[in-house]
Amino acid sequence: MGTSLPQKEANLFKLIVKSYETKQYKKGLKAADSILKKFPEHGETLSMKGLTLNCMDRKSEAYELVRQGLKNDLKSHVCWHVYGLLYRSDREYREAIKCYRNALRIDPDNIEILRDLSLLQAQMRDLTGFVETRQQLLTLKPNHRMNWIGFAVSQHLNSNPSKAIDILEAYEGTLEDDYPPENERCEHGEMLLYKISLMEECGFLERALEELYKKEPKILDRLDYKEQEVSLLVKLGRLEEGAKLYTLLLSMNPDNYSCYEGLQKCAGLYRADGQYSSDEIVQLISLYGSLAEQFAWSSAVKRIPLDFLQGDKLREAAINYIRPLLTKGVPSLFSDLSPLYDHPGKADILEQLFLELEHSIGTTKGYPGREEKEPPSTLMWTLFLLAQHYDRRGQFDVALSKIDEAIKHTPTVIDLYLVKSRILKHAGDLAAAAALADEARCMDLADRYINSECVKRMLQADQVSLAEKTAVLFTKDGDQHNNLHDMQCMWYELASGESYFRQGDLGRALKKFLAVEKHYADITEDQFDFHSYCLRKMTLRAYVEMLKFQDRLHSYPYFHKAAAGAIRCYLKLFDSPSKSATEEDDEMSKLLPSQKKKLRQKQRKAEARAKKEAEVKIEESSSTSVSKSGKKPVKPVDPDPHGEKLLQVEDPLSEATKYLKLLQRNSPNSLETHILSFEVNMRKRKTLLAFQAVKQLLRLDAESPDTHRCLLRFFHEVSSMAVPATDSEKLIWTVLEAERPEISPLHEKSLLEANESFLDKHKDSLMHRAAAAEMLYLLEPSNKGKAVTLIEDSSSNLVQRNGVLGTVGKWKLKDSIAVHKLLSSVLVDLDAASRWKVRCAEYFPYSTYFEGSRSSAVPNSSYNKISSNPENGVNHPVAGIGMDSLAPNGKLEAFKDLSI
């Protein structure tokens, strides 16, 4: 460094480097300017000055200086290294790697450049290059522990764990017998456990167990040691020893479900599908009976048997499990029991049990067969449990009566209002649900969870402005909406985006969905610092797990929802594009001069108002947040707060394709992924890609109504295409001709016959009938009346359940709304849509969309509220809940009249 400089300037150059490393940027700049006064063309000094300016957020100057420095000294490894660091700071990792490689051509043995290159290769998953760089680092500095570990990890990540084991054993051979010293015992133990886990991964189980026992004194983490030991014992078939060790682990944590699962495996009594024979159930009862005697205080040992028990034994175990929790008042009891509702017949047993408990407590003040009196709260929690039970089974009338009874019993319990809000949401009255959630929020203004639940209900009811005001009550002062973004509050952004999309505000919807995508990009970037940290701290197993997690990061539900939402926005934008500037000019030219003048004045005033509001917001945020040095940090202003620029894309489908590729790579087993692929590619006229999407849908679920729609739409579109003229069109035609006989729903059938066959197979399903009707209208528009009749003939049989108060319908509200929209907008039969609405209003009496008799959309209902948006409601208060209850401080006066 500092080549071809006199001694004084060479020392100043070292000062620049030191100032950069210690973040004394002004001092570094001063030293750089001193050198450049005498040597204005010195490339390395120019580069270091540019790197220093980059840290001071002067990026344009930084790039200019670094490029100038590189131009002046192309053969300097320092200039290339600095250029790479500049690219790395802007997350341009591929460009940074190119710069590092150029630097290494000049100075192949530079440790710093090799280390920086290895970090980027790990980040970009260039695993072959990562192995080569780590090997070179080890060759240059074999006495450094981190180089041995880094080389071993690189081999492991490159799918060569056996080589990684050899490297770690070679490293251990360089150590003395009394290693490690006291202050390094923890790190060394982690390295040993990592090596044993590699042996297990390679299948060297006997060798791994022998190594584990041999190195036991050097492993400090006793819990991880025992978990590794029991894993190896079970895989080796030494089940008795494994069972003893699992029992020992349970004595340390008796609520560890994985240990109970391991015990079942050791006893040969574990089934992944949960289906057990009668003999196996008897053995399981004996196993958990003995465990219950050993771990009487464990909750898990009482809960797990409910999954495999049946009949009277289930009833007996359930009552023993539920009674203490009802007495104690555990609000999460129903969430704990809810998986049992997926087992046939268990929901009916639980219902009879709940009703008996309610009757006994209500009449005798105690549990059935017991003389002890229960506290009054037990009845309230039993009603609370019953309300959630009936909500789960779709019996909203009974659920609401039970929760109202509980509220009347104890009107100060916040959980009751939240559950009532949830029941109303499921019943279809989103506006009343939001108002009830807000009432619950006002009862405890310091509870962030209740605040978040309230915001979620408001967004579901499309009360976005009210939801924003409520959400920011728990953010820092200043630019509060940016705080929500900085906190990566993805559930809020997704719910806001979906609400804006329902309201037709595509710009704001896109902005919210793309914000979630940005969070995932940030999470991916956040792993960079761990590539060196984890090797230094020896948290190797956690590091490898973190890298695997990062590789599947985009398969998580929040990203899927955000990407799918963005694609739908772009599809809608393509179908109904916003007006271009030329179209607006054409409209302006048709106006009178006086009208043009008024319109321009109005536009100027709106722009000035928006500019002033932005300036005020900056001043407020900067005045409230002052740093320790007394300087006001300047926050970047959002130049497009309403997402208007996002709508001005030239090709919405190409933007949609970017997110579609991510979904196809990370969520290939989701129907929604391939439905969106079909929609995008049909609009792009990419016939084979659309057909590929159809084949994926058939693979995943050939009987789905959406699969049926896509299949018939595709071949109907293909049949209406012009005769192929070019070679590529002929090739596409040949492929489709060859593939069609292979598709079972269309085998030797016309499209109409395939539609009839689909209808016959699923005539009892509303959504399948709707799909068949839609396709009938598409194939033969003259049969519109028959298509409408297909839908209207759907039966909504009400099912009477054993011991249930009332009946349960088999139609879902969401499906019925979709059918109404189909009748009104696709089949365009307003009379049929009106008849369907009347029919569904009776079927879903709480739905505001269908204006049911008990919904808040009806003036004389119990939730009297006028709604301007019938599907999702607006922010009018429920009867009995005044507007002042929606204020941040709540309606505290209302609590004065409460009597307990």
Q: Tell me, what's the pLDDT at 878?
A: 40
> What does the pLDDT average to over 203-228?
95
Is the pLDDT reported for residue 626 higher than 70? no
Q: At what angle do helices 671-683 and 687-701 cross, to 10 degrees?
A: 160
Give residue 721's pLDDT band: very low, low, confident or very high (50, 70, 90): confident
Contacts of residue 94, Cβ cutoff 8 Å, sequence gap at least 6: 124
Contact between 139 and 114 (Cβ < 8 Å): no
Q: Which long-range contacts (CB under 8 A, 24 or more apart) does 390-394 make?
A: 390/805, 391/419, 391/422, 391/423, 391/426, 392/334, 392/338, 392/341, 392/347, 393/341, 393/347, 393/351, 393/801, 393/804, 393/808, 394/426, 394/808, 394/809
Please provide the size of the chain in residues: 900
Is the pLDDT reported for residue 301 higher than 70? yes
Nearest to 186 by CA among 211, 221, 151, 222: 221
Give residue 585's pLDDT band: very low, low, confident or very high (50, 70, 90): low
Q: At what angle do helices 540-551 and 185-202 cross, to 10 degrees?
A: 50
Nearest to 881 by CA among 511, 508, 437, 492: 437
CA distance 576 to 572: 6
DSSP β-bridge partners for residue 809: 798
Give residue 797's pLDDT band: very low, low, confident or very high (50, 70, 90): low
CA distance 687 to 320: 61
Say if residue 527 is exposed, middle or buried (CB neighbours under 10 Å; 0-12, 13-18, 19+). middle
Is the pLDDT reported for residue 193 higher than 60? yes
Q: Nearest 5°: CA angle at 817, between 802 and 567?
A: 120
Q: Nearest 5°: CA angle at 536, between 533 and 538?
A: 100
Contact between 746 and 715 (Cβ < 8 Å): yes
pLDDT in tens, 514-561: 999 999 999 999 999 999 999 999 999 999 999 999 999 999 999 999
> What does the pLDDT average to over 574-585?
65
Q: Tell me, what's the pLDDT at 889?
A: 40
pLDDT in tens, 657-708: 999 999 999 999 999 999 999 999 999 999 999 999 999 999 999 999 999 9
Q: Tell me, what's the pLDDT at 246?
A: 96
Burial 255-265 (b: 16+ CB within 10 A, else e): ebeebbebbbe
Q: Would you state the torsion angle of the CA atoms of residues 357, 359, 364, 366, taken in this order, to the nearest 10 degrees? A: 10
Give residue 627's pLDDT band: very low, low, confident or very high (50, 70, 90): very low
Q: Tell me, what's the pLDDT at 616?
A: 57
Phi, psi (rounded to 5 degrees) for 800: -90, 120
CA distances from 38 to 5, 8, 32, 66, 778 (A): 10, 11, 10, 18, 80
- The whole-chain average pLDDT of the chain stands at 88
Nearest to 676 by CA among 572, 779, 812, 820: 572
Share of the chain above pLDDT 90, in %: 75
> What does the pLDDT average to over 601-612?
68
Segment among 133-142, 801-810, 837-846 with least mean pLDDT: 801-810
CA distance 459 to 474: 17
- Tell me: cis bond preceding 331? Omega within 30 of 0 counts: no
CA distances from 666 to 171, 359, 689 (A): 38, 51, 18
Q: Which amino acid is at 393?
A: R
> What does the pLDDT average to over 490-517?
95
CA distance 540 to 536: 9
Share of the chain above pLDDT 70, in %: 87
CA distance 644 to 661: 25
Rg (CA), the chain: 34
Give residue 349's pLDDT band: very low, low, confident or very high (50, 70, 90): very high
Token code pair at residue 658:
């970017």
pLDDT in tens, 234-277: 999 999 999 999 999 999 999 999 999 999 999 999 998 889 99
Q: Nearest 5°: CA angle at 631, between 626 and 634?
A: 80
CA distance 119 to 676: 37
DSSP β-bridge partners for residue 808: 799
Is the pLDDT reported for residue 324 higher than 80? yes
Q: Tell me, what's the pLDDT at 808?
A: 52
> What does the pLDDT average to over 788-812?
67
Segment among 310-319, 325-334, 598-607 with least mean pLDDT: 598-607
Distance of CA 78 to the CA centre of its chain: 43
> What does the pLDDT average to over 50-71?
94
Q: Model-level pTM?
A: 0.87
Give residue 474's pLDDT band: very low, low, confident or very high (50, 70, 90): confident
DSSP states of 12-62: HHHHHHHHHHTT-HHHHHHHHHHHHHH-TT-HHHHHHHHHHHHHTT-HHHH
pLDDT in tens, 744-772: 888 888 999 999 999 999 988 999 999 99
CA distance 135 to 147: 8
Contacts of residue 55, Cβ cutoff 8 Å, sequence gap at least 6: 20, 23, 25
Phi, psi (rounded to 5 degrees) for 39: -130, 75
Say if residue 150 is exposed, middle or buried (CB neighbours under 10 Å; 0-12, 13-18, 19+). buried
Q: Tell me, what's the pLDDT at 5?
A: 86
CA distance 233 to 242: 6
> What does the pLDDT average to over 565-587?
76
Q: Tell me, what's the pLDDT at 898?
A: 42
Distance of CA 324 to the CA centre of its chain: 35
Q: Tell me, what's the pLDDT at 888?
A: 39
Give residue 883's pLDDT band: very low, low, confident or very high (50, 70, 90): very low
| 167 three-class SS | helix
CA distance 245 to 188: 24
Segment among 432-446, 474-488, 871-885 with least mean pLDDT: 871-885
Three-class HEC string of 275-312: CCCHHHHHHHHHHHHHHHHHCCCCCHHHHHHHHCCCHH
Contacts of residue 59, Cβ cutoff 8 Å, sequence gap at least 6: 53, 90
Contact between 555 and 648 (Cβ < 8 Å): no
Q: Tell me, what's the pLDDT at 255?
A: 95
CA distance 659 to 815: 27
Kind of pairing between the strands at 798-800 and 807-809: antiparallel
CA distance 353 to 346: 11
Phi, psi (rounded to 5 degrees) for 659: -75, -30
Contact between 62 and 50 (Cβ < 8 Å): yes
Contact between 513 and 571 (Cβ < 8 Å): no
Nearest to 456 by CA among 485, 495, 420: 495
Three-class HEC string of 786-809: HHHHHHHCCCCCEEECCCCCCEEE
Count how many Cα atoms sit within 13 Å of the Cα of residue 463 in the half-sphere of its side chain. Answer: 26
Q: Choose between 637 and 493: higher pLDDT.
A: 493
Residue 575 burial (CB count, 10 A): 10
Residue 577 Rama label (left phi>0; alpha psi -120 to 50; beta): beta
